[in-house]
Structure 1
Amino acid sequence: MSDIPEYPLQWPEAVPRTTQRVTSQFKTTLHAALANVDKALRAFAKDSGKQVTGIVLSSNVGGLSLKAPADPGVAAWFTWDGEQRCIAVDRYPKPQDNLQAIFHIIEARRTEMRHGGLHVVRQTFKGFTALPAPDDWFKVLGFKPGATVGLNEVEAAFRSLAKNTHPDAGGSAAAMARLNWARDEARRQLGAPQ
């Protein structure tokens, strides 16, 4: 079972976020889009002969609100063929449209299965192999959650940690990517100029 929560949105670390959303042509309600994704994942499991388990549709749609969330992204996390996968879409301004896009992505994999076989789908699914959702930037930069932190402290912590984290200093590319993510997320949340 996945430990990914449904709410708030858990975006996969390696997937870039959309900076400029476009209006979709989908005419699907949230309820219908949820049903479409569920049906597509069940059909995909049947077509591939491999179970799809641990399905979590993570988004910022939560609680009782008539307003659309500021971040309409949706991430479909699940396990297939022994690996956790994530299909994440935030291209559209409405969560139901991003969810419907995920439905179409799954249906495209079903088409690949029919025409190319399981080996083709395994190849295309390598891009959906899920990296864990990113840590809290406070934790990555060495701050205690809830501490009052400003941009100067973020930059100082980043520079200090980068001295050992950078691949040229004996660190790894993955560790440096995580550190870069934390600094960028801190800057974004603290309102640094882009």
Structure 2
Amino acid sequence: MTGLDWPATLKRTDPAERTRNNRYAASLRDSIDDLETELGRVGVDDWRLSTAAQHQKRNPRYPYANASPTDPGAVVRWTMDGDQYAVACDAYSRLRDNVRTLYLYLREKRKMEQRPVETGESEFANARLPPADEGATQGAVVARQPPHVLLDVAPNAPANVVKAAARQKLKEHHPDRGGDREMFKRVQDAKDAMLSEVDR
């Protein structure tokens, strides 16, 4: 399988703005395996990874090990309880880093879903696609800017730097102080994602 199936309504990252991520140590294969495990934990019915790399014939979810396509973007589409979902990332210059980011995004969503907090909707609601007759790509989400960019720290910043930067941003965006609730949540997610990588 070749050809990136990027949702038509989602903006792409300008290739000149893509960054190299030296923070992720996992290989492309490991990231896909982790992604599969994560999707299994949330109970998906079926899923597929779409990239511009040539995928193996025997294992179509996996690009060849030396995959380095000109377009490093990655899209994960899945079905769960009859609904279709998709998330996409092309913020980094390497395919493996974009796939890793998708895995981390889904892992954080799953963790949030398991917390005993009522939000009125599933944490995965923003990735839900509308019914096919309304257009299959309208509801997909793009994995947002990398956590280190959002927190304004180095990609491999130590835990104490990440926590300090997050504390400042959380204070700045706290909803009780007139801040944006969505941005507040994004900062929390970015902090959790960076700290989980430090712990690996």
TM-score relative to the length of structure 2? 0.54
Identical-residue share of aligned pairs (%): 21
- Other-structure match for 1:40: 38
On the 8 A contact 1:113/1:120 being kept in 2, the answer is no
2:18 alignment counterpart: 21
- Deviation at residue 75 of structure 1 after TM alignment: 0.3
**For residues 121 and 56 of structure 1, do their structure 2 counterparts lie closer, same or farther at Cα, with a shift above 3 Å needed?**
farther
Task: Find out whether 1:8 has 2:3 as its counterpart.
Answer: yes
Write the letter of the residue equivalent to 2:125.
K
**2:48 — aligned with what?**
56
Offset at 1:28?
1.3
Aligned to 1:100: 100
Q: How far is 1:133 from its partner?
A: 5.2
Residue 53 of structure 1, CA deviation: 1.7
Moved over 4 A (4+): 63-67, 116-121
Cα offset, 1:7, TM superposition = 2.5
The amino acid of 1:9's aligned partner reads L
In our comparison, the structure showing a higher alpha carbon Rg is 1
Measured after TM superposition, the shift of residue 82 of structure 1 is 2.2
Whether the 8 Å contact between 2:48 and 2:77 is mirrored in structure 1 is yes
- Cα distance in 1, alignment partners of residues 65 and 110 from structure 2: 35
Amino acid at match of 1:94: R
| Counterpart in the other structure of 2:110 | 110
Structure 1 match to 2:184 = none
* CA distance, structure 1, for counterparts of residue 100 and residue 118 of structure 2: 24
SS at match of 1:113: helix
1:66 is displaced (CA, Å) by: 4.4
- What are the ranges of 5 or more consecutive residues in structure 2 without an aligned counterpart? 56-63, 130-134, 139-200
Q: CA deviation at 1:14?
A: 2.6
Aligned length: 122
| Structure that is richer in helix per residue | 1
Query: Structure 1's 22 and 116: CA in aligned 2 closer, same or farther, altered over 3 A?
Result: farther
Amino acid at match of 2:45: T
**Could you tell me how far 1:81 is from its partner in structure 2?**
3.1
Task: Structure 1 unaligned segments of length 5 or more: list them.
Answer: 1-5, 46-51, 135-194
CA RMSD in angstroms comes to 2.4
Question: CA 1:109 to 1:66, structure 2 compared with 1: closer, same or farther past 3 Å?
Answer: closer
Which TM-score applies when normalising by structure 1? 0.56
